[in-house]
Amino acid sequence: MRLAAASLLLVASLVCGCVSIGSGADAPAHAYLQLSDAGKVQRLAAPLVDALLIQPQPAGALADTVSIAYSRAPDVFGYYQFASWVERPVRALPRLLQQRLQERGVAGAVGQLGDTMRADWLLSLRVVSLYHDVRSAPGQTRLLLQAELFDRRQRQRVAIGSFSADVPAARADATAAAAAMSQAVSQSFDALGPWLEAALVQAAARPAPPAR
């Protein structure tokens, strides 16, 4: 009986230790942060293709969560306790990329896979990793993306690329990390855009297969 009671007390204390109800006067307020893309683009004179769909791919564990990751040692990660994302990066980045490509006018229409639109071109996007590297304070944020372009007419992949950005953080905290991560998003998109446009131009120049 004493052992059982002690076990229950231990479990209760662990649960209470993992939950912050914000009633303590010294408990910091929880911050909800959002990734953004502040990149500026000049609109193309004409779309390169009629329509393009973006397909989010399963992301790495650091990007498929609302928790904001940091690392103080190689291959060892933790999450900021009093800050989180409004939207998981695995969902936020494809949406931001869609907005960027729409503003650029890469295609007559840009949508997400599952939208009610037909497109011959599919761009898959995988967020491999996104975290705040604080092995040396204030550290820097690291973002790695993988993209693949598919020609749905030919049912084949026509291009694949990786895009990374490391941006110094102003401070060793979650808010500064989030701001630097947004800059990393913009820099990665700056590299991804020309790659995508070149791949679309080259692939679209090939003759479409005969209709069956």
What is the residue-level pLDDT of the chain in tens, covering all 212 positions? 343 434 433 333 333 333 333 344 566 899 999 999 999 999 999 999 999 999 999 999 999 999 999 999 999 999 999 999 999 999 999 999 999 999 999 999 999 998 889 999 999 999 999 999 999 999 999 999 999 999 999 899 999 999 999 999 999 999 999 999 999 999 999 999 999 999 999 998 887 666 55
Phi, psi (5° rounding) for residue 209?
-65, 150
**Beta-sheet pairing, 76-85 with 67-73:** antiparallel
DSSP states along 38-103: ----PPPSS-SEEEEEEEEPPPPTTTSSSEEEEEEETTEEEEEEEEEESS-HHHHHHHHHHHHHHH
Query: How do the domains of the chain map onto residue ranges?
Result: 51-204
- State residue 205's pLDDT score: 86
| CATH 1.20.1050.10 given to domain 51-204 | no
- State residue 83's pLDDT score: 98
Beta-bridge partners for 107 = 49
Amino acid at 145: L
